[in-house]
Amino acid sequence: MKLPTLREVGTEAKLLLIGIPVFIWTMIPIYHMFVFAISPKEDAFSGKLWPAHPTFHNFSIVFHQQHYFLRDFWIQFWNSTVIALAVGALTLFVATAAAFSISRLRVPGGRAVMNMALFTYFIPAAFLAVPMYRTMGTYGLLNNHWSLILAMVTIAAPYAIWVLKQASDKLPVELDEAATMDGATTLQLFRLVYVPLMMPSLVAVGTYAILLAWNEYLYAFLLLSKDTDITLPVALGNFLAADDSPWELLMTTGFIYALPPAAVYYAFKRYMVGGLTAGAVKS
């Protein structure tokens, strides 16, 4: 074993000088949330960096809905789950069909549709929220889960179509020709050749849509209002309505709410990095 030279030690020290602040900066809000979640009420406001008596009591209060703000926790959790899964499934259906049609069947006008979708993708979603809110009222869908599901599909689909189209343009044309030569109908081509080959991109797009819907605050807060209809992020925002809201319970609920998407993100990171970051910006 050879000792590191002074120069190597210097480089390592410089890297640490960047790495440690980056670590602290990244962790502060998350750590703060975690400390609140494991602090009993009296510890929570003492400004300590680690509670004197860490406890999981807050989690038990949340799971048993033992507080005014939390009386609908499980139904809100269920709402979030159902809406996220529905958005994932519908987005996959709409986007895969559209990408297949544009990229493989070369439907007339497909390029125009792709451009319209891209245009929607670039218009900030917060700008679309105001007219969308009114339109949902016109359709009579306000306070109905379908309003949020359809709104999120509208927002998720353009990017999904674009990513899937990029991926499917890379599949060789000969594949379609060979399948057609063997007498495959268009639907068989879609079901037996296209979908299996596109699986990695489909996983990426489905995950993207599910996370987008689970994390959405603005649309959920505009379109749903009844306590038993709203999703978890809206319920978290509602904690702010009162001055004496129990922060430690809010942070506990927030922590529970943040866990599933973080787990999904890390589980599908392989697909997300390959499928999404490559598609996000083409240099």
CB 37 within 8 A of CB 255: yes
Pick from 97, 178, 195, 242: which binds other proteins (CB under 8 A)?
Answer: 97
Q: Check residue 190 for interaction with other proteins (CB under 8 A).
A: yes
| Contacts of other proteins in 25-44 (CB under 8 A) | 25-30, 32-33, 36
Tokens of 180: 């057609």
Q: Which is nearer to other proteins, 73 or 214 (CB)?
A: 214
Q: Check residue 129 for interaction with other proteins (CB under 8 A).
A: yes
For 158, other C-beta atoms within 10 Å of its C-beta total 20
- Pick the stretch among 64-72, 117-125, 167-175, 202-210 that binds other proteins (CB under 8 A): 117-125
Q: Check residue 280 for interaction with other proteins (CB under 8 A).
A: yes
Using alpha carbons, select from 232, 261, 204, 210 the residue that is nearest to residue 90: 210
Q: Which is nearer to other proteins, 108 or 172 (CB)?
A: 108
| Contacts of other proteins in 56-75 (CB under 8 A) | none
Q: How far is 126 from 241, CA to CA, in rounded Å?
A: 22
Q: Check residue 50 for interaction with other proteins (CB under 8 A).
A: no
CB 136 within 8 A of CB 142: yes
Pick from 55, 66, 185, 228: which binds other proteins (CB under 8 A)?
Answer: 185
Using alpha carbons, select from 160, 149, 262, 268 the residue that is nearest to residue 216: 149
- Pick the stretch among 58-66, 67-75, 199-207, 231-239 that binds other proteins (CB under 8 A): 231-239
Nearest approach, Cβ of 65 to other proteins (angstroms)?
18
| Contacts of other proteins in 198-217 (CB under 8 A) | 214-215, 217
Nearest approach, Cβ of 203 to other proteins (angstroms)?
16
Q: Which is nearer to other proteins, 124 or 196 (CB)?
A: 124
| Contacts of other proteins in 234-263 (CB under 8 A) | 236-237, 239-240, 247, 250-251, 253-255, 257-258, 261-262
Range 193-202, long-range pairs (CB < 8 A, 24+ positions): 194/100, 194/104, 194/168, 195/96, 197/171, 198/96, 198/164, 198/167, 198/168, 198/171, 200/271, 200/274, 200/275, 201/163, 201/164, 201/167, 201/168, 201/275, 202/92, 202/96, 202/164
